[in-house]
Amino acid sequence: MKRIKETLLPILAILLLFSITSCDKEEEKVENDKQKLIEGTWLLYAAGQDDNEDGQISENEREPAEEGRVFELTLSADGNGLIYENYTDEGETTTPFKWKWSGDSTIILTNTQGAGETILVNVLILTDNELGVYGGIDDSNMILLFKKKV
C-alpha cells in the first residue's frame, strides 16, 4: 500500500501540473481568438432600443441603418481605432481613439482628441462576421449591430 502511495503521488502531481498548464493555455487561446475576431472594420447595419432589456433586439425593436449613411468602426491590433461617419446630409467625419479589452465582454474606448473622454462599450455578440454592442456615451439600452467589412 505504501508503495502504491509513493508511486501515485508523483503521478498525480504531474497530472495536476499539466491540467493547470492546459487551463492557462486554453484561457490564453480564448483571449487570442476574441482579439482576432474583433480586429477589423465593422459596418453598422442595424440598431435598436432593447425595450424589454433582454439583451437582444427583437425584430420589432430593430431598425436598419439609414440609406445614405455610413458608420464604420475600425479596431486595429495595436489598440488604435477609428470611427468613420459619412452622412449625405452632414458630410464626413473621422474620430480616432484608443481601445482595449476590460474583462470578458467590455471594451474601453478613449478619445484621443480633446479631453480624452473614456467610454465603456459592452460586447453582446462577437462572431467572425457580426459584432453587437451596447452602452457607450449615455449607457443606454441602444444596441448597435455591425457586419465585418470585407
CA-closest candidate to residue 49, choices 137, 114, 144: 144
Confidence of residue 31 (pLDDT cuts 50, 70, 90): low
Question: Which H or E element spans position 95?
Answer: strand 91-101
The domain defined by 40-148 folds into Lipocalin (2.40.128)
Distance from the Cα of residue 90 to its chain's centroid: 29
Average pLDDT over residues 61-86: 90
Q: Give 46-69 as a DSSP string.
A: EEEE-TT-SSS--TTTEEEPPTTE
Rounded-to-10 torsion of CA 74, 75, 77, 79: 120
Whether pLDDT at 91 is above 50: yes
Whether pLDDT at 8 is above 90: no
pLDDT, mean over the chain: 79
CA-closest candidate to residue 146, choices 52, 57, 71: 71
Whether pLDDT at 99 is above 90: yes
Average pLDDT over residues 111-139: 84
**Alpha carbon distance 124, 104 (integer Å):** 11
Whether pLDDT at 57 is above 70: yes
Confidence of residue 137 (pLDDT cuts 50, 70, 90): low
